[in-house]
Chain A
Amino acid sequence: MTLIGWVQIILYCAIIVALTPLLGAYMTRVFNGERTFLAPVLRPVERLLYRVGGVDETSEQGWLAYTVAMLLFHVGGFVILYALLRFQGALPFNPAEQTAVPPDLSFNTAVSFLTNTNWQNYGGESTLSYLVQMLGLTHQNFLSAATGIVLAVALIRGFARASAKTVGNFWVDITRCTLYILLPVCVVFTLFLVWQGIPQTLGSYVDATTLEGAKQSIAVGPVASQVAIKMLGTNGGGFFNANAAHPFENPTALSNFVQMLSIFVLGAALTNVFGRMVGNQRQGWAILAAMGVLFLAGVVVCYWAEANGTNILNSLGLSGGNMEGKEVRFGIVASALFAVITTAASCGAVNAMHDSFTALGGMIPLINMELGEIVVGGVGAGLYGMLLFVIVTVFVAGLMVGRTPEYVGKKIEAREVKMAMLAILILPLMMLGWTAIGVVYPPAVASMANAGPHGFSEVLYAYTSMTANNGSAFAGLTGNTLFYNLSGAVAMFIGRFWMIVPAMAIAGALAAKKSVPPSLGTFPTTGGLFVGLLVGVILIVGGLTFFPALALGPIVEHLAMLAGSTF
């Protein structure tokens, strides 16, 4: 670990904290339906969409209608993406002449991008045409991100409103989120990325003759426009197989730093949107503080583990940390930091191969996802995941003092706690249940690339990542098999929607409640005590559930490494 490494980490955190209130203010305006500086250009487009769609932008929906609209929207997105994958051979923008994607892989990929997971059982440059990358994947990157954000906003409105029947209008929210937030940032971000060196072309792969006279076919494409939304929307699906480690997806240390910022920026800003909408920004800062504690703990462990290297490297006299599966331009610190960020948020882009991380360094991404990606989290999904833990926390606090728990002026009652637990419990069921099958079912066992405890970690990581809608992988695992394509699609689907529907039910129930003014007996939820309690609840729930699995994978592998074993 080096001083300059720590300076980079501190700088990163400082910029995120500085951007949070600025972007939070802007996003609050967008979702309150107020005019923004982009209105002269975008307002006519917005109005045209409402007119053709038959949407009255002043009328709102209850939680159930809002959820149904969201689900219908997803059905359409799934059909388009699946069809594009199956028919890509007959469609234009296909200079590399890619053929139809097989049905099970198409199914897995369509569910993956629909659920904001972007788990990839294919290599982008060797499987997909430019048309599928743009019309299929870039568009799903936008819409799954926008969906996460508007659902979080609907839940926030549930907390903020009193005696209300509605939580917003899904069509208005999704349109305003896409047009006023995601698109403008992506336009600027894309140009920055091209300037840094990311290609943006429809031309075919380049044939080069190397200095030694060999032929090298260099894959290019409309990369920058996809990378921009892939990071900003915490999607994480790479244009290329190596994702953000590929020099064409992440060419410089600066592009890497800005990409890391773009993963957290919207999720962090949403905590501020929450604070503003419930009328006390400190409520938002308290949540961000709890996220910050968990984040920094992860960064310290991961950076320390990677900088220390492995027994194999150290015994050969190779110093400088674990560089297997890492790029020289990022080095140890930017690789470890990226790994923690991408799994704290539900991004899943990788700039180093997590499979080759040290046992403890690779355990941190795993823990981040197992806790439900509530450390900033996926755009929107992180906040509503965190608010579910908040509900459990105030419930626990209420039990201790024997009072009905309250949070931001709302009484938290049996229905809310039940719904929160329903969402929280489905994660371990999918992650651990499928892992248990994956390590005994023979066709699945054959997919492991590494032997010993690391093979177990690969399977655990896969189902954890898919259920948490992350999309990063211990990529040695061969995922493109019938078993993984289908079981993974189930894990991703349940992991996304089994979280969303209870969260929306809570939104509806809360919106209908009266607001109670704080009294002397109200547990303050803006102070250090609350932050500590929240972190404690998250770690206890996560720790108790996942510790046995972690003991079988990364922990036993670390002990084996110390004993000098190889597998």
Chain B
Amino acid sequence: MLKEIRPAIVFIVALTIITGLIYPLAMTGIAGVIFPSQAQGSLIEKDGKVVGSTLIGQSFTSDKYFHGRPSATTAPDPKDPTKSIAAPYNAANSGGSNLGPTSKALADRLKEDVDTLKKENPAAAVPVDLVTTSASGLDPDISPAAALFQVPRVAKARGVPEDRLRTLVANETQGRWLGLLGEPRVNVLKLNLALDALKS
């Protein structure tokens, strides 16, 4: 057993340095050169200021913007750091609601949200992704149905014809990869940036 101590020390130190320092640092260097935008987090700048990342959802509450999905992320309570408070789209503390299929809290939340949305657009069926929280709490996307559902509200708030917004949603819809993998989706931040660009 004693004879194994020297290799144990040498191999643990050497392999730690190779896999724990050389590998990630080398990859950081190479990735930064080949894919500089992605490596930094796919950030979007507007007038020299970072307004977000294309991959990270953000909270929209104004009628003039398309809204993302509900988010269950939290932040420490400023009054009592041992407790946490709701903080939608907190990109420094990802997570889901973790409410189970027979949870009363989930049932109540869904009913309330569905009722609110039905008032907003009585004509269409409420899309399921617009009332369920995502796994990360940072889902950047909504389904095309969820975007179209919000068109009447946004059109009214902005005074823009609904048809123009439907075209905009269609333009911003990404299909399945090679028509096969994943689900069709609309990136909410990109859609809202395109919406802001409409005016000018």
Q: Once the chains are docked, how many angstroms separate the CA of A520 from the CA of B25?
A: 59
Q: Are A323 and B110 in contact (CB under 8 A)?
A: no
Interface stretch, picked from A25-33, A47-55, A369-377, A398-406, is A47-55
- Which parts of A450-477 form the interface with B (CB within 8 Å)? 450-454, 457, 474-476
Q: Say whether B100 contacts A211, CB under 8 Å.
A: no
Complex contacts, A254 vs chain B, CB 8 Å: 177, 181-182
The residue among B30, B59, B69, B182 with the most chain A CB atoms within 10 A of its own CB is B182
| Interface contact B193-A565, CB-CB below 8 Å | no
Task: Decide: A246 near B28, CB < 8 A? Known: A139-B15, A201-B39, A206-B41.
Answer: no
Nearest Cβ on chain A to B68's Cβ, whole angstroms: 9
Whether B20 and A561, one on each chain, are in contact in the complex, defined by CB atoms closer than 8 angstroms, is no
> Which residues of chain A from 152 to 211 have any CB-CB distance to chain B below 8 Å in the complex?
171, 174-175, 178, 183, 186-187, 190-191, 194-203, 205-211
CB distance from B156 to the nearest CB of A (A): 18
Rounded to whole angstroms, the CA-CA distance of A142 and B13 in the bound complex is: 13
Stretch at the interface among A283-291, A350-358, A378-386, A424-432: A350-358
A560 to B104, CA, bound (A): 12
| In the assembled complex, A330 has its CB within 8 A of some CB on chain B | yes
With known contacts A316-B111, A325-B98, A200–B135 Cβ distance under 8 A: no
If A320-B128, A557-B102 touch, whether A196 touches B59 (CB-CB below 8 Å) is no
Whether the pair B41, A217 counts as a contact (CB closer than 8 A) is no
Interface presence of A76 (CB below 8 A)? yes
B residues less than 8 Å from A220 (CB atoms) = 40-41
Are B19 and A125 in contact, CB atoms less than 8 angstroms apart? no
Whether the pair B59, A201 counts as a contact (CB closer than 8 A) is no
Choice from A331, A350, A357 contacting B182 with Cβ under 8 Å? A331
Known: A212-B60, A454-B102, A567-B102. A143 touches B24 (CB 8 A): no
B86 close to A (CB within 8 Å): no
Tell me whether A72 is interfacial, beta carbon within 8 Å: yes
A264 within 8 A of B: no
Q: A253-B177, A320-B128, A357-B101 are in contact. Are A209 and B50 (CB under 8 A)?
A: yes
A326 within 8 A of B: yes
- Is the CB of B157 closer than 8 A to any CB of chain A? no
A248 at the interface (CB under 8 A from B): yes
Cβ contact within 8 Å between A206 and B43: yes
Query: Which residue numbers of B lie inside 8 Å of A, CB to CB?
Result: 1, 4-16, 18-21, 23-25, 27-28, 30-32, 34-35, 38-43, 49-62, 65, 69, 89-104, 106-107, 110-111, 114, 125-129, 131-143, 176-177, 180-183, 185, 189, 192-193, 196
Q: List 8 A-B contacts (CB under 8 A).
A: A187-B23, A206-B41, A226-B24, A253-B176, A254-B177, A313-B110, A320-B143, A450-B99
- Residues of A at the B interface (CB closer than 8 Å) are 4, 7-8, 11, 45, 49, 52-55, 65, 68-69, 72-73, 75-77, 80, 123, 125-126, 134-136, 138-139, 142-143, 171, 174-175, 178, 183, 186-187, 190-191, 194-203, 205-212, 214, 216-220, 222, 224-226, 229, 240-242, 245-248, 251-254, 256-257, 309-313, 316-331, 334-335, 350-353, 355-359, 362, 449-454, 457, 474-476, 557, 560-561, 565-567
- Known pairs A75-B8, A201-B41, A310-B102. 19 more at Cβ < 8 A? A49-B14, A69-B4, A73-B8, A138-B20, A183-B19, A187-B23, A200-B27, A206-B43, A212-B60, A219-B92, A242-B96, A245-B135, A253-B181, A309-B128, A327-B134, A356-B97, A356-B98, A358-B101, A362-B101
